[in-house]
Structures are given as C-alpha cells and as structure tokens.
Structure 1
C-alpha cells in the first residue's frame, strides 16, 4: 500500500494540530486497518462479542475520531470501491502472506506464546464485510460523512483535494503523492502531531513535473509493478530528468515495464467520481453511538468510555459547527 521509497523524495514536515483547520478526506481502509491492528495488539482481550464477531474496529473508531473532533479538522471518510485489475497480483501476494501468518498464529497459540500471538493476530487482520458495515454505521451515527469511491479510496480522496472540495488527504500511503494530492496528513493514527506531505514542494525540490514524479515511482516500483532492478529513488530522479520521461529511461536502459502506460494513467487519471456531497458541520449522536457499540455489539463500556467522553467534551467545547 504505497511506495515507501518515496519517503526519501517527499517534502515532509511535522505540523501541530493547533495550526491545522479545514476538512480532511480520510482514506478509510488505510486509517481503519491501522486502528484495527493496533487495537488488536494493545487493548484488552475484549475484541469479540459473545457470538464471536470481531469488534476491534468499533473500538478503534471511537478511540480515533477524537483526534479530529478535538481540533479544527472535519473528517470525511472515503471507502474503497473495486480493486484495480493490475493490483490483483499484490492482493494475491498479501493473501498468501496472511495465510502464512495464520499458520504461524496457530502454532503460537498451541505453544502459548502470548507476545507472538499478539503480533500475529495483528498481522492477520482483514477488513471483513462486517467490519466495513459496522464502521459505516458507527460513522453515520456520529454524523461523519462517508463517500464511496468507484475504485481506490486514496485516489478519490486525492481527487477531491485537487478539486478543492477538501483541504487535506489523510493517509499513511505515499501513493497520494503520485496521485497529486496537494497536502497529505500522515500519522493521524499515531500519538503526537501529524506529518504534512507537500506535493508542490516535492516537485519543486526535485525539479520534476507531476508526470515525471509518477515515472520515478514506476521505476522504483508501485502497487501495480515491480521496480527496475538497480534503480532507487534518487537514481530514478536523475534518470528521468536526464532522459525526460519514463520511456526515455526505459529505452536508454533497454528495459521493459509491463503495462507501464496503464500504470501511469492509474495515477494521473484514476477512476473517480464527482457524485459526492457532504456537510462538514457535524452533529454526532453520541448516545445512539454508545448504544450501538456497547449494547448491540457487546463492546465493554470500559473499552470505549474515554473515547466517547472525549467526543462529548469536544462537542461541548467547540460546538463542532464552528469548525470551518
């Protein structure tokens, strides 16, 4: 999910929540997966209802939303649609890796290794239909807008940011840089202040166009292709500037990247929609959300009390309708 090599090129700076305001389009699957895995590892054992349904996502949502509510950030959650065909290989690889982890998890359980069990449980988490459905319902009760992307959520969120519909994209993926998101807030699921990734500043830093930055990403490797052997991010920048674009580099190196033109288009012109409408002024029904989480899904109140308290406090202190 994203090309971490791009971190070596991205212009990043730590920013204070106190200096941020506006609307952030959150890559829902990315955000939720991170809270899901950390909740599984670091909360108590109450991750399942008495019927055996996973509920760690509900705990994660309640714990994670106050980070927005307590500051001048209005969240809009963008959910993935269909998986791009070219990503099938990566999805297959992840599934195979997850199956290996599941086998290791069974061995750890048989051996009673608590630390290894916790680690492997987080690695085998998946966003099941139930998890996605209950997350959408909880967000709805808290009046947080939900947008359904036609394909990749991060692509839709980046498109909305480029159109000026939102001020930031919220994602841990560096792919938002290749997708042209002007400003990306990272580390929204971590303690402390976030990190701001600046698209235009990155282009200026390396004297590249957007198209050339995508070419650099393809040379290094993306979710849709393996990189060219021996070419790292700094070398890729040098080669693209020297030869003009991806095709010039491939010709000069006498190498081939399968589906290169399609991959380029997936970043420059991804499947997106203008069919979205949302109100950033939120009016969360905390009582209904608490009932949904604790009574309908059986999450112990102690797991979510503080999160709901923080949401209620933020409603009282800021009114939420004054965010923008």
Structure 2
C-alpha cells in the first residue's frame, strides 16, 4: 500500500535473519536504492561521490554499503527495476517533483545562511534516480553478478508476481503496494539496522476478514499512488465500509462519491503487467576487483568510503555456504 497509514492493517512481524537464510529476495530496486541514496547523501560529503566533471553517483556508495546485508545472511537479492510509468502514476510523480523543487529552494536558503545540518537534510530530499544513477547501478550490479530484472511497469508488481509464483521466496520493499499486488510474503526494513520485518498477505486478509479484492478496495478508499482517497475515510473506516457495502462501488454509491479511473486502477492492482520471460541464476560469481575499479577509478568515488563494504562482501563469500557461490 502506498499510504504508510495503512500499516495498521497489515500483518507484520519481526523475523530473524537466521530464519530466512538461503532465501532469494526480489528487491524493489527503485525503493531500495532511493532509501540508500538519500541516507548516503545525508551523511556523506558530496565530494566523496562526485566526479571531477560534477556527476553525482552517491548510489554506488549506497550499493556497496547495502549489499553486504544480503550476502552476510546468505540471501540472494534479485533487483527488479521499474519499467514504463503507468498513466495513473504520472500524477504521483508530478507531486514528488513539486515537493523536490520546493526542497531545492529551501536547500539554497539553508546553504546561504550556513546551516549545514538543515542543508544535508534537504539535499537528501532533492535526490532523484537520474539516468546516470540508473546506468551505474546496473553496471555495478553486473560486476557483482547480482541478478537484475527489468519490469514492464511497476517493480513492486513484478516482485509480487515472482513471489506469488514461487520463483523467489520473498518480495523486498518498504512500500505496502506489494500486498495489493499479491505478494504472499514481503520483507521490510532491508535498508535498516537489525532484523527485517515480514509482511504476510494471507494473515492480513484473515485478520481483516477480506479477500484480496476487498483489500485493494480499502486501499483505494484511503488513497494510493494511483488515486486520491475519499475525504474522511481512514484505514479502519474503509474496512468497516467495505464490510457494510460489499465492495468499492457500494461504498462510493452510498457516499455519493467517485474515484476517477477506478475500474482501471483496481485492475492494475489485481492484474498488473508483469514479465514472465525471466531467468534467475542464484549462483553468484562477483568480480570484486572489477567492481572496485568501476566504483573508484571509472566513477571516482573515494576508495575509503567503499572499501569496508567491499571487504564485507568478500568476507561473506568466504563465510556463507559455498553452494551459493561459484
């Protein structure tokens, strides 16, 4: 679910890494990368990840810092990238762009008055996944032999599909949309310290007394990345309304409300465009030296900022099961 307020409806529990070792995780690449990108920018000097020509590649620092969490726990990440932007999500993207531009204005003001802390916070909020970041992310993952899949549309939907058909053990995302797209099991907090959270679809539906269609209806009433919600309806009210009126259409009729493109948006969640022609090789053979050269020489990232991450990857290769590595 795009709306974090709906966390109160999802069945989420802590899970120990020891209980999921050896698993394959389809990672919502844009979601994962953006979180590392913003935290890297917030706490790292920009000269560390900026080339002589002024190109920012903070993503490379974030990837090297973030991947060890998978490898150290014998997890194989499969990075799934968004494809074409759906018609309905263009509104959400426009809203994000407007917020980013506002943050850029405040950033300039903070820099002018010498407020370094506020500037760092605002700079993180102005980050976006540029073409160079997209290119270099794939370039580094390729050298580390991490599987990459290009989704036709929403990355979360592709992750959910791969989880639902059993090709991966978990979807990995901080977004709640994986539930709506039908992922049976989603790992959250993969960019945070400590153990992850497990969000389960069947347990969520059982606790709410809903079918998946009803869960999608609840989300649409509250608001998603693809539509604005109905004023005055929060998560608990939405569940009650669906119970009383049967489905989204019954609630809208009873309230005299409407949601533009509701049929298409509902269908997008329940039957999203996904790719079937993919292959996942879980036997990894990372070329660490090539990866180091790519990051520190070709893209001029300060070696001191990434060396520990590369060391952790190398150590994990030696320590985890040998059947996972060639």
2: distance between equivalents of 1:320 and 1:49? 37
1: distance between equivalents of 2:9 and 2:126? 31
1:66 to 65, 68, 87: 68
Work out whether residues 57 and 132 of structure 2, in 8 Å CA contact, stay in contact via their aligned partners in 1: no
Work out whether residues 149 and 278 of structure 2, in 8 Å CA contact, stay in contact via their aligned partners in 1: yes
| Cα offset, 1:320, TM superposition | 5.3
Work out whether residues 282 and 320 of structure 1, in 8 Å CA contact, stay in contact via their aligned partners in 2: no
Give the gaps of 5 or more residues in structure 2.
Answer: none
1:76 to 75, 78, 82: 78
Give the count of matched residue pairs. Answer: 323
| Cα offset, 1:147, TM superposition | 0.2
Work out whether residues 49 and 302 of structure 2, in 8 Å CA contact, stay in contact via their aligned partners in 1: no
Which residue in 1 is equivalent to 2:36?
Answer: 35
Which residue in 1 is equivalent to 2:282?
Answer: 280
Work out whether residues 26 and 77 of structure 2, in 8 Å CA contact, stay in contact via their aligned partners in 1: yes
| Cα offset, 1:43, TM superposition | 2.3
Query: Deviations 1:236-294 (Å, cap 9, x if unpaired)?
Result: 11111121111111111121111111110110011111011120111111111011101
1: distance between equivalents of 2:97 and 2:136? 23
Which residue in 2 is equivalent to 1:115?
Answer: 117
Which residue in 2 is equivalent to 1:150?
Answer: 152
Does 2:8 align with 1:18? no
1: distance between equivalents of 2:105 and 2:45? 23
1: distance between equivalents of 2:308 and 2:44? 13
SS at match of 2:168: coil
Does 2:302 align with 1:300? yes
2: distance between equivalents of 1:124 and 1:151? 24
SS at match of 1:13: strand
Which residue in 2 is equivalent to 1:263?
Answer: 265
Does 2:234 align with 1:247? no
SS at match of 2:266: helix
Work out whether residues 284 and 324 of structure 2, in 8 Å CA contact, stay in contact via their aligned partners in 1: no
1: distance between equivalents of 2:127 and 2:322? 33
Query: Deviations 1:198-252 (Å, cap 9, x if unpaired)?
Result: 1100000011000000000000000111111111111111111121111111111
Work out whether residues 35 and 61 of structure 1, in 8 Å CA contact, stay in contact via their aligned partners in 2: yes
TM-score normalised by the chain length of structure 2: 0.97
| Cα offset, 1:77, TM superposition | 0.1
2: distance between equivalents of 1:47 and 1:298? 7
Instruction: Provide the alpha-carbon RMSD of the alignment.
Output: 1.2
Work out whether residues 74 and 321 of structure 2, in 8 Å CA contact, stay in contact via their aligned partners in 1: no
2: distance between equivalents of 1:100 and 1:251? 38
Query: Deviations 1:163-220 (Å, cap 9, x if unpaired)?
Result: 1110101100011111111000111001111111011000000110000000000000
2: distance between equivalents of 1:249 and 1:103? 41
TM-score normalised by the chain length of structure 1: 0.97
**Following superposition of structure 1 onto structure 2, how do residues 201-216 of structure 1 map, counting pairs within 5 Å?**
201-216=203-218
